[in-house]
Amino acid sequence: MKHFLYLVLGFLTLVSCQTKETPSESEVQLVEASCGTCQFNLEGDDCALAVRIDGKAYFVDGTSIDDHGDAHAKDGFCQAIRKAEFKGKVVNDRFALTYFKLVP
């Protein structure tokens, strides 16, 4: 019984010390979405969709800026920063998405 208690305490200590540096691909995050060049000041020649997470912006792979309406409209990504639900992970300093939905 004593050994079992030590085992449980050791396991709980390990679990409580773990930290997550980035969300896993299965977690939905609420992020800022906009044009990376127009709104997030990312280097680029063209307008392209980007997300900003914890103050860092990433261009997005898996959907384009034009898949979500006119980017240059009053509420478009080149004119406004929008909120979106997002799933994905950082790959080569870009965000590879598996889910993207604008929040009204």
pLDDT digits (tens, 9 = 90+) for 28-59: 889 999 999 999 999 999 999 999 998 999 99
Per-residue pLDDT at 27? 80
Phi-psi region at 26: left, alpha or beta (left = phi > 0; alpha = psi -120 to 50): alpha
Q: Which contacts (CB < 8 Å, 24+ apart) does range 45-53 have?
A: 47/71, 47/77, 47/78, 49/77, 50/95, 51/84, 51/86, 51/95, 52/81, 53/29, 53/95
Q: Is the pLDDT of residue 64 over 90?
A: yes
Q: In total, how many domains does the chain have?
A: 1
Regarding pTM above 0.85, the answer is no
39 in a structural domain: yes
16 in a structural domain: no
Q: Which contacts (CB < 8 Å, 24+ apart) does range 70-77 have?
A: 71/35, 71/47, 77/33, 77/34, 77/35, 77/38, 77/39, 77/47, 77/49
Q: Which domain holds residue 45?
A: 24-102
1 in a structural domain: no
Q: Say which range, 6-10, 19-23, 70-74, has the weakest mean pLDDT.
A: 19-23
Q: What is the CATH number of the domain that holds 58?
A: 2.40.50
Per-residue pLDDT at 18? 40
2 in a structural domain: no
Report the pLDDT averaged over residues 13-31: 55
The mean of the pLDDT values for the chain is 82
